[in-house]
Structure 1
Amino acid sequence: MPFMVPPDVSATVHGHVTDAVRAPSLIRLSENMVLVRFETLKIYAALGAVRALLADGTVRPGDTVIDSSSGIYALALAMVCHRYDLRCHIVASTTVTPTIRSQLEILGATVDQMPAESDLRLDQDRRVARIRQLLRANPGMHWMRQYHDPIHYLGYAELAGLVHIALPDRPLTVVASVGTGASSAGLIQPLRRHDPSARLVGVQPFGSVSFGSERFQDPEAIIAGIGSAIPFDNVRPDLYDQLHWLTFHYAMAGAIDLMRAHAVFAGLSTGAAFLVAAWEAQRHPGREHLVIGADTGHRYVDRVFTRHRDALDRAALKPAEIGTLGDLAPPWSTMAWDQRTHPEHPGPRLPASRPSPRTCPAPGLMTDGC
Structure 2
Amino acid sequence: MTPSDTVDTHPHIADALKRPDLVRLSDGMVLLRFESMKIYSALAAVRQLLDRGTVRTGQTLIDSSSGIYAYALALACHRYRLRCHIVASTTVDATTLAQLEILGATVEQVRPSKNLKLDQELRVRRVREILAERPDVHWMRQYHDDIHYLGYQEVADLVTKALPDRTLTVVGGVGSGASTGGLVQHLRRRDPGVRLVGVQPFGSVTFGSQDHHDPEAIIAGIGSSIPFDNVRHRLYDAVHWMDFTHAMSGAVALLREHAVFAGLSTGAAYLTATYESRRHPDRLHLVIGADTGHRYVERVYARHREAVDLAALKPAEVGSPEEMSMPWSTMAWNRAAWPSRRAEARA
TM-score of the superposition, structure 2-length normalised? 0.97
Deviations 1:323-355 (A, max 9, x none): 1122110010000000001112336699xxxxx
Instruction: Look up the match of 1:325.
Output: 321
Kindly indicate whether structure 1 or structure 2 has the higher relative contact order, using CA contacts under 8 Å at least 6 residues apart. 1
Match of 1:225 in 2: 221
Matches within 5 A, 1:199-210: 199-210=195-206
1:63 to 59, 62, 69: 59
Partner residue, 2:74: 78
Matched with 2:194 is 198
Q: Is the 8 A contact 1:64 1:86 kept in 2?
A: yes
Give the gaps of 5 or more residues in structure 1.
Answer: 351-370
Letter in 1 for 2:182: G
Aligned to 1:166: 162
* 1:260 aligned partner: 256
Equivalent runs, 1:82-93 vs 2, <5 Å:
82-93=78-89
Residue in 2 aligned with 1:367?
none
Does 1:38 find its partner at 2:25?
no
Where does residue 290 of structure 1 map in the other structure? 286
The letter for the 1-side match of 2:120 is: Q
> 1:165-224 CA distances to partner (integer Å, 9 max, x unpaired)?
011111110001000000112111111110010000000000000000000110103443
AA partner of residue 154 (structure 1):
L
Preserved CA contact (<8 Å) 2:32 2:288: yes
CA contact (8 A) 2:85 2:106 kept: yes
Is the 2:251–2:264 Cα contact (8 Å) retained in structure 1?
yes
Aligned-residue RMSD, C-alpha: 1.6
Identity among equivalent positions (%) equals 63
Partner of 1:139: 135
Name the CA distance, whole Å, in 2 between partners of 1:189 and 1:200: 10
Q: Distance in 2 between the 1:89 and 1:65 partners?
A: 6
What residue identity is the alignment partner of 2:108?
A: D
* 2-structure distance, mates of 1:296, 1:75: 13
Q: Which of 98, 110, 113 is residue 94 of structure 2 equivalent to?
A: 98
Corresponding position of 1:182: 178
- Residues 251-295 of structure 1: per-residue CA shift (max 9 Å, x gap): 000000000000000000000000000110111111110000000
Partner of 1:279, secondary structure, is helix
- Structure 1, residues 292-343: CA drift from partner, whole Å, max 9, x if none? 0000001111110000011111121111111112211001000000000111
CA distance in 2, matches of 1:117, 1:86: 31
Number of aligned residue pairs: 346
Q: 1:174, 1:291 within 8 Å by CA — same for their partners in 2?
A: yes
* Contact 2:219/2:264 (<8 A) preserved: no
Shift in Å, 1:4: 11
Q: Indicate conservation of the 8 Å contact 2:241/2:328, yes or no.
A: yes
Q: Runs of 5+ in structure 2 lacking a partner?
A: none
In structure 1, what is the Cα distance between the partners aligned to 2:83 and 2:18? 21
Which segment is superposed worse, 307-316 or 339-348? 339-348
Tell me the distance in 1 between the aligned counterparts of 2:343 and 2:140: 19
Q: Which AA in structure 1 matches 2:235?
A: L
**C-alpha offsets along residues 2-32 of structure 1, whole Å, 9 cap, x if unaligned?**
x799x8x762221100111011110000001
SS of 2:188's equivalent in the other structure is: helix
Give the partner amino acid of 1:68: S
Name the structure 1 match of 2:269: 273
SS at match of 1:27: strand
> Which runs of structure 2 are paired with 1:341-356 in the superposition (5 Å)?
341-346=337-342
Please list the CA deviations of residues 135-165 of structure 1 after superposition, one character each: whole Å capped at 9, or x if unmatched.
0000010000000000000000000000000
Q: Contact (CA 8 Å) 2:234, 2:344: kept in 1 or not? A: no
Question: How far did 1:115 drift?
Answer: 2.2
Q: Secondary structure at the match of 2:189?
A: helix
Q: 1:63 to 1:349 in 2, by over 3 A?
A: farther
Out of 234, 239, 242, the position equivalent to 1:243 is 239
